[in-house]
Amino acid sequence: MRFFVVPALVLLGSACGPPSLAASTFEGDNEGWSLSNNGALTTPPLGRTGGNPAGHLCGKDEGDGDIWYFVAPQKFLGNVSAAMSKRLTFDLKQGSIFNQVRGRDVVLNGGGLAVAWNLRFAPGLDWTPYSVRFDATSGWRIDEPAGPGADATEDDLRTVLGDLRSLRIRGEFFDGLNDTACIDNVYLGRD
């Protein structure tokens, strides 16, 4: 009698999350993420503990001025049209829940177009999960210099995702100096 070992592909659930096109869990390094802070791109430090569950990135306001963002690395960019009708998910937390400011919370640029999505509620002092689907009913708006424009259509989202050049997630929610925020578990294209 012979026994054969057949390798199997196992998709990990909660440890790695569901399959996605791109993911950052910050368990070993900052995975190429940067901060857009008052016009400069900087490298955020990796926090090895205190994440959701372990590693995470934190940023800090470097001055009074522009709203700062966590900026996704190359692995999240390019033709990600397969994310259409799927979700972008991430966890955020911030250092203060007072003096909150509204802003463009998730901004995607691509195909000569920009779209933005706003959180329904600001992150808390503990990890707050967010999820948005890439479809015309999830609240994506055309991003205009003067503020949010018209609702983004399915075609608008396909245009942006077909040639994604930038994905930014807002880190500044506090109106003042020295505010901090942290990000973890970013997944693009989850079911």
Tell me: pLDDT of 145 over 80: no
Banded pLDDT at 177 (limits 50, 70, 90): low
pTM of the predicted model over 0.75: yes
Inform me whether the pLDDT recorded for 64 exceeds 90. no
User: Residues 149-165: what's their mean pLDDT?
Assistant: 96
Which one has a higher pLDDT value, 19 or 42? 42
Asked if the model's pLDDT at residue 136 lies above 60, the reply is: yes
Q: Identify which has the larger pLDDT, 19 or 107.
A: 107
Please provide the DSSP assignment of 118-181 as one string: --SS---SS-EEEEEESSTTS--EEEETTEEEEEPPHHHHHHHHHTEEEEEEE---BSSSS-EE
Q: Are 67 and 179 in contact (CB under 8 A)?
A: no
Q: Evaluate if residue 6 carries a pLDDT over 50.
A: no
According to DSSP, residue 78 is labeled B
Confirm if 128 and 91 have CB atoms less than 8 A apart.
Answer: yes
Q: How far apart are CA 167 and CA 96, in angstroms?
A: 24
Could you tell me which residue, 14 or 59, shows the higher pLDDT? 59
pLDDT above 90 (res 8): no
- Give the number of other Cβ atoms within 10 Å of residue 112's Cβ: 9
- How is residue 57 annotated by DSSP? E
Amino acid at 106: V
What does pLDDT average to over the chain? 86
Residue range 148-167: mean pLDDT, rounded? 95
The answer to whether the Cα torsion of 53, 68, 43, 113 is positive or negative is: positive
Confidence of residue 12 (pLDDT cuts 50, 70, 90): very low
